[in-house]
Structure 1
Amino acid sequence: MTANVAKYWADYQDQKNCSDSKENLESYIETVLEAIKNERTFQRKTRRSKMDGIFQETIEWINNNQSATNQEFVDKFKDLDQLISPILQRASENTNDIVEEEEVDI
Structure 2
Amino acid sequence: MNAKDLLDLVRKITDNEPRVRERGADEATDWVSTYSAAEAGATATVLAVTAAAETDHAALEAQLHAILEIMSSGHVQGSHISQIRDIDLQGLPNQIREYISDLLEE
Given the two structures, how large is their TM-score scaled by the length of structure 2?
A: 0.31
In our comparison, the structure showing a higher alpha carbon Rg is 1
Given the two structures, how large is their TM-score scaled by the length of structure 1?
A: 0.31
- Which of structures 1 and 2 has the larger relative contact order (alpha carbons within 8 angstroms, sep 6+)? 1
